Amino acid sequence: MMQHGQPTRAWKRRGAGSLAHAKEEATMSTTFTSEPQIPMAPTVARLGVPLIAQAPELRPVIQLDHTHKTYTMGDVEVHALRGISLKINKGEFVAIMGASGSGKSTTMNIIGCLDRPTRGKYVLDGEDVSEMSKDERADIRCQKIGFVFQGFNLLSRTSALENVELPMLYAGVDGPARHERAMDALASVGLTGREQNHSNQLSGGQQQRVAVARALVNDPALILADEPTGNLDSRTSVEVMEIFQRLNRERGITLVLVTHEPDIASYASRVIVFKDGKIKKDSTVAKPRVAAEELRKMPAVVDDEDED
Ligand SMILES: Nc1ncnc2c1ncn2[C@@H]1O[C@H](COP(=O)(O)OP(=O)(O)OP(=O)(O)O)[C@@H](O)[C@H]1O
Ligand SMILES: [Mg+2]
């Protein structure tokens, strides 16, 4: 939703062409619209094996300590975050809610190492990232974080295959392995045969699926999703939530998801509500909805019959 003072994401402000910029591009991703399946690249092949749900470990992946963020626009200071202290353990699935302008995306940008707090500390997986340089943060993003945003962010005039290979290039995976893993990931999101298409030769839904394959191909420890179902119809939203729940339960990936929709938040196991740059409420969901069960109950989508 466009609001006054709509945030400019940190990656939009960076100069094109820099290594940090390219790495950012490579680690950005978004949602997809149909038949999502989890990539089966070698690093993620274990997804195909039914696994027992993993309980969250009591090891913090995200630690924000009295984090403040102030944006300066000319003479005006906007206090987007006014002291956020938050601990998210490995394997948690957290939904962030709150009114527009309450600081959700600002927090996600900091958690995702796209931006730095003005004051206060941010420790990611045991490393203090508050003081890291842009390049160091780009490395961390590449290694540990997959992004799923509402709008997709593929490199244009670059094939689907190359887009998916890019994060692995920066992670130092060798050529043949990159190719194989990218092909597997694209196949798993239903894009076999489209590997050589450029972004502008794919539909929006197909581009989004490419972006998902790209986000998952480096096997991230943490997935950040900012309104991932914002542009999706209800069935596709449940499909996306089913993927997220599988990634979380089967692979123990920590998930932080921003949503305005209470229905979507109820798939998470913890809901944090923001208000005016602070945390207003932090609660555990006793019985999260199970997307896979809901999908089974939904009627299949069929085309209308043409009338003669
Ligand atoms: N780059 C920026 N420059 C100046 N002000 C900003 C910037 N980004 C965010 N803000 C301001 O910071 C506050 C928090 O913004 P933020 O984007 O975090 O809200 P949000 O909770 O994500 O809202 P929404 O639900 O509309 O996405 C708002 O007042 C916003 O206008
Ligand atoms: Mg936002």
Q: What is the pLDDT of residue 60?
A: 92
Atom 29 of ligand 1 has which residue's CA nearest to it?
A: 101
Which helix (H) or strand (E) element contains residue 40? none
Q: What is the pLDDT of residue 57?
A: 64
Pocket test for ligand 1, best of 3, 9, 75 (most atoms within 8 A of CB): 3
Of ligand 1's listed atoms, the one at least distance from the Cα of 103 is: 18
Pocket test for ligand 1, best of 76, 78, 107 (most atoms within 8 A of CB): 78
Which residues, given as ranges, of the chain have pLDDT below 70?
1-57, 150-152, 189, 204-205, 208, 232, 301-308
Atom 27 of ligand 1 has which residue's CA nearest to it?
A: 100
Instruction: Report CA(234)–ligand 2 centroid distance (Å).
Output: 20
Quick one: which ligand is closest to 96's CA?
1
- Rounded Cα gap, residues 193 and 161, in angstroms: 10
Closest CA to 248 of 207, 290, 276: 290
- Residues in contact with 88: Cβ distance below 8 Å, sequence separation at least 6, in sequence order: 60, 61, 62, 63, 94, 254, 256
Structure tokens at 156: 């244009």
Instruction: Report CA(100)–ligand 2 centroid distance (Å).
Output: 7
10 lines ligand 1 (CB under 6 A): no
Spell out which residues have Cβ within 5 A of ligand 2, the ion: 104-105
8 lines ligand 1 (CB under 6 A): yes
Atom 4 of ligand 1 has which residue's CA nearest to it?
A: 71
CB neighbours of residue 99 within 10 Å: 13
Instruction: Report CA(196)–ligand 2 centroid distance (Å).
Output: 33
Structure tokens at 300: 């299949």
Which helix (H) or strand (E) element contains residue 204? helix 204-216
Structure tokens at 113: 């190492």
Q: What is the pLDDT of residue 50?
A: 41
All structural domains of the chain, each given as residue ranges with its CATH number in brackets, are: 16-35+58-285 (3.40.50.300)
Pocket test for ligand 1, best of 102, 114, 118, 275 (most atoms within 8 A of CB): 102
Atom 16 of ligand 1 has which residue's CA nearest to it?
A: 103
- Rounded Cα gap, residues 103 and 97, in angstroms: 10
Atom 12 of ligand 1 has which residue's CA nearest to it?
A: 80
pTM of the prediction? Answer: 0.77
Q: What is the pLDDT of residue 103?
A: 97
Q: What is the pLDDT of residue 55?
A: 60
Structure tokens at 166: 């890019």
Which helix (H) or strand (E) element contains residue 76? strand 76-89
105 lines ligand 1 (CB under 6 A): yes
Of ligand 1's listed atoms, the one at least distance from the Cα of 260 is: 25
Instruction: Report CA(296)–ligand 2 centroid distance (Å).
Output: 31
7 lines ligand 1 (CB under 6 A): yes
